[in-house]
Amino acid sequence: MNVKSLMQLAPVIPVLVIEDPKQAAPLAKALVAGGLRVLEVTLRTPAALEAMQAMTSVEGAIAGVGTALDANDLSRAKEAGAQFAVSPGFTETLGAAAKDLALPLLPGVMTSADIMRARAAGYTELKFFPAVQAGGSAMLKAFGGPFHDIAFCPTGGINAKSAPDYLALKNVLCVGGSWVAPGNLVNEGNWEEITRIAKAAALSVG
């Protein structure tokens, strides 16, 4: 499965920060039940890889890692069973490592120069990050002219209210967001409410 096909499975990719790996499987089940199958577990906690690995065992879930910064992150993620990786930026070294590992990578970009570097390395599906601070949907609309062959997944500051504005753009296939799994609901184990939020997000078309 390539990055483009992953981006087309649902309009929202949950961006998850998990402190307790025991929460991973029930969280994944709740999100999948709500129609969100592609799950990004950020490498921001010591539990991230264990949590991501637990999610891979949930039927219907496609689990990968986010905040991958270098080849070592990609290698550890691949070994733990990651099915894809997401990075906040892009370097040629990172891109080459992902290809060597046959690990689908969604690299982050913010400027036109970033896009050109990633495109030159063969990457045409990109994460626009941080979306709000980088110019939001207006910037992505502007990018659609010179970069007509690029598809984006904007992430960073997006919520249920703003998601449809991004998804209405022709060059946006999906958005990334943490609002679908609020930390307080995860800590409470309120999986039913997370499923409800996920169902609403799965219908977030522009």
Confirm whether pTM is higher than 0.85: yes
| Predicted pLDDT at 205 | 76
Active site residue: 4, 29, 40, 78, which one? 40
Residue in 79, 107, 77 with CA at minimum distance from that of residue 93: 107
Catalytic-labelled residue, pool 29, 78, 125, 127: 127
Helix, strand, coil tally for the chain in percent (to 5)? 40, 15, 40
- Spans in the chain with pLDDT lower than 70: 206
Q: How far apart are CA 110 and CA 130, in angstroms?
A: 7
CATH number at 125 reads 3.20.20.70
Give tens-digit pLDDT for 20-61.
Answer: 999 999 999 999 999 999 999 999 999 999 999 999 999 999
Active site residue 127: yes
pLDDT at 55: 98
Active site (annotated) includes residue 40: yes
Place of tokens 């219908």: 203
Inter-CA distances, 204 with 3, 100, 114, 160, 175, Å = 20, 35, 28, 8, 10
Query: Can you give the residue range of the structural domain that contains 171?
Result: 3-202
* pLDDT given for residue 206 in this prediction: 62
How many domains are there within the chain? 1
* Count of beta carbons in the 10 Å neighbourhood of residue 133: 10
pLDDT of residue 59: 98
Q: What gap in Å lies between CA 121 and CA 97, rounded to an integer? A: 12
